Amino acid sequence: MSARTAIAWGVQDLTVRYGARTALDGVSLEAPGGAVTAVVGADGSGKTTLLRALAGVVRPAAGSVRRPDRRRIGYVAGASGLYTDLSVDENVAFVAAAYGISGPERDARIELLLEQTGLTGTGGRLAGRLSGGMRQKLAFALAMLHEPELLVLDEPTTGVDPVSSAELWRLIAAAAAGGAAVVVSTTYLDEARRAATVVLLEDGHVCDAAAVLRAGDAARADRPGDAPSAGDHDAVRLAVADGAVRRFGAVTAVAGVDLEVRAGEVVGLLGANGAGKTTLIRLLLGLLRPTSGRVLLFGRPPSRATRERLGYVPQGLGLWQDLTVAENLSFSAEAFGSAAPDLEPDLAAASGTLVRDLPLGLRRRLAFAAALAHAPELLVLDEPTSGVGLGARAALWDTIHRAAAGGAGVLVTTHHLDEAGECDRLVLMAAGRVVAQGALVDIVGDGAAVAVRAERWDEAFAVLSAAGLPAAVVGRDLRVPGGDEAAVRAALAAGGITAALSVVPATFEETFVRLALARQDSTPSDPERTSQ
């Protein structure tokens, strides 16, 4: 995309109503060209309505919207908007025809975008058969096909693994560096920090985003980053994988993994899609048997008896959609021979509501209540906070920590790396193997990045990318993982860019992506090449 004059799009005093319900009330947002603007909020805060109004999909009841012609807008809805029963090539052809792009221009544009998104060679695959990260990158490529002036992305990284998320954010930064005004909604504060401007919504109103970001930083400082290490948890080992291997035909999904969860500790299991996390959890639950190696629950091979002592919240929550809150809890309690738990006020008020009619945050709290009702000794939680807002996520982590403080062991998977600080110990998987484990501070170690501050961040971003030094954008500054200041300085000098450089400690995300990609790069020569 060629650089364009920066134009500020946005909304002013915007009000949107759905019948008697007010979704947005007097909201203002400015989205300048060449920058990323983040909209943060919980479910029901109005994020999606704001983005849809900006994209011209919903009509406001009051206020004004400044946007380019709809043919100059790129929009990715939360569900990506792909035709899942069409191939990648067919999706691309459909969008190109809709925007009147044809001939050599179309072919060159498509080739470039597929290369940038890592989708080269996927043309014949059905969009519905792509991984979550690949679908989101394809949706991004389609939204960029006509070189929009305004790019609107509704929670583009929800359900996407950390490596794909980092890649998506590089693409988002590149779009802004090319001159587009980019508006991204998210429920995660670590993503909001990447943006030049943050707008926080709560119940359809704009709140003080700076105060929330400061509170998030303070909360991080109080998290158990220096919590007791695994060696301090000398209590019973509740779950153990000892050289666990699981093959599916010629594919090795878990390749010699060692893992343990002890009483009273929270262990975070992290990895990109295909790392083997889900297969490992199924082994620990006894839903799969190891091809070789050993898996133990409470000192014995997994069985119906050991399952009675654990609580499990799958990513799909495991609730009965056509039963009420009370009926779900009653069913779960009877299955474990326990009494139905006392409910917090919000759930108690919804006890007669069908689960399918609950907002996501309440459904997750219900799943937690059902999993904890029989006082399990071990909690296994698969993406327990995915898609929920800031307050609901904090409440769920409070529940997790209370369970651990009461002596339960907790094994939790997450795609959002800011939650790593909630864990006593981390286990990082890539390509079926454990690539690092320990406390967060130990895994990051002495890793470094180069912080870059240039008068024109977009020009510095383009120069570094062309030199093979991909940078992440944080506001209007850049970070280049690896800490090679000399290489960064040389690349910028060759491109005629003057910038202030400093070597800073690596973030956990930078460390995680480095470890995951290093393992993936080594996989083709590995006789136990993994998948999931």
Distance CA 530, CA 528 (A): 6
Task: Indicate the pairing of strand 425-430 with strand 409-413.
Answer: unpaired
DSSP string, 445-457: TT-EEEEEEESSH
- Residues 436-441, mean pLDDT to the nearest whole number: 88
pLDDT at 136 over 60: yes
Distance CA 403, CA 265 (A): 9
- Residues 525-529, mean pLDDT to the nearest whole number: 37
Domain total for the chain?
A: 3
pLDDT at 252 over 60: yes
* CATH number of the domain residue 73 falls in: 3.40.50.300
pLDDT confidence of residue 232: 44
pLDDT at 245 over 90: yes
pLDDT confidence of residue 521: 54
Distance CA 276, CA 254 (A): 6
pLDDT confidence of residue 209: 64
Q: Of 164, 190, 221, which closes a domain?
A: 221
- Residues 184-199, mean pLDDT to the nearest whole number: 86
- Residues 225-244, mean pLDDT to the nearest whole number: 63
Question: Half-sphere exposure of 437 toward its Cβ, with a 13 Å CA cutoff?
Answer: 18
Instruction: Give the residue carrying structure tokens 């926080």.
Output: 200
Mean residue pLDDT of the chain comes to 83
pLDDT at 346 over 70: yes
236 shares a domain with 211:
no
Distance CA 322, CA 462 (A): 52
Is residue 355 included in any domain, yes or no?
Answer: yes
Nearest to 135 by CA among 190, 79, 173: 79
Distance CA 387, CA 360 (A): 8
Amino acid at 185: S
For residue 212, name the pLDDT band (cuts at 50, 70, 90).
low
Asked whether the beta carbons of 263 and 279 are under 8 A apart, the reply is no
452 shares a domain with 380:
no
189 shares a domain with 238:
no
Region of poorest pLDDT, from 228-232, 298-302, 434-438: 228-232
H helix runs in 76-117, sequence order: 88-98, 103-116
DSSP string, 475-529: TTEEEEET--HHHHHHHHHHTT--EEEEEEEPPHHHHHHHHHHHHHHHGGG-TT-
- The boundaries of the domain holding residue 189 are 8-221
Quick one: 277 exposed, middle or buried, by C-beta within 10 A (0-12, 13-18, 19+)? Answer: buried
Q: 483 is written with which tokens? A: 């800490």
Is residue 512 included in any domain, yes or no?
Answer: no
257 shares a domain with 369:
yes
Region of poorest pLDDT, from 145-159, 197-211, 291-305, 465-479: 197-211
Quick one: 495 exposed, middle or buried, by C-beta within 10 A (0-12, 13-18, 19+)? Answer: middle
Is residue 528 included in any domain, yes or no?
Answer: no
Amino acid at 505: P
Q: 272 is written with which tokens? A: 């990109």
Task: Indicate the pairing of strand 477-481 with strand 448-454.
Answer: antiparallel
Name 381's bridge partners.
Answer: 313, 412
Q: Of 168, 190, 221, which closes a domain?
A: 221
Distance CA 299, CA 494 (A): 61
The whole-angstrom distance between residue 470's C-alpha and the CA centroid of its chain comes to 20
| Prediction pTM value | 0.77
Is residue 474 included in any domain, yes or no?
Answer: yes
* CATH number of the domain residue 468 falls in: 3.30.70.790
Q: Of 438, 471, 488, which closes a domain?
A: 438
Q: What is the DSSP letter of 198?
A: E
pLDDT per position as a tens digit, 372-427: 888 889 999 888 877 666 677 778 888 889 889 989 999 998 877 778 888 999 99
